[in-house]
Amino acid sequence: MNEFSKMMAAIAFWSRIALAAAVLCIGTFAAAQTNAASAAFKVEERNFQKARR
């Protein structure tokens, strides 16, 4: 295996790890945003129900 092939293999390996980490972080952030939005919506819904009574 020549130097260029080793270098390309290393780049592919680390790129895959970086991509997996980015996807994981984005997924975690999206889940946190969804939970926050859901909680805010529930509070608004409760306030709306109280106001209608």
* CA–CA separation, 8 and 2 (whole Å): 10
Closest CA to 3 of 11, 17, 16: 11
Convert the pLDDT of each residue in 26-50 to its tens digit: 888 888 888 888 888 888 888 888 8
Q: Where are the domains of the chain?
A: 29-53
User: Residue 33 is which amino acid?
Assistant: Q
Q: 9: which residues sit within 8 A by CB, 6+ positions away?
A: 1
pTM of the model: 0.53
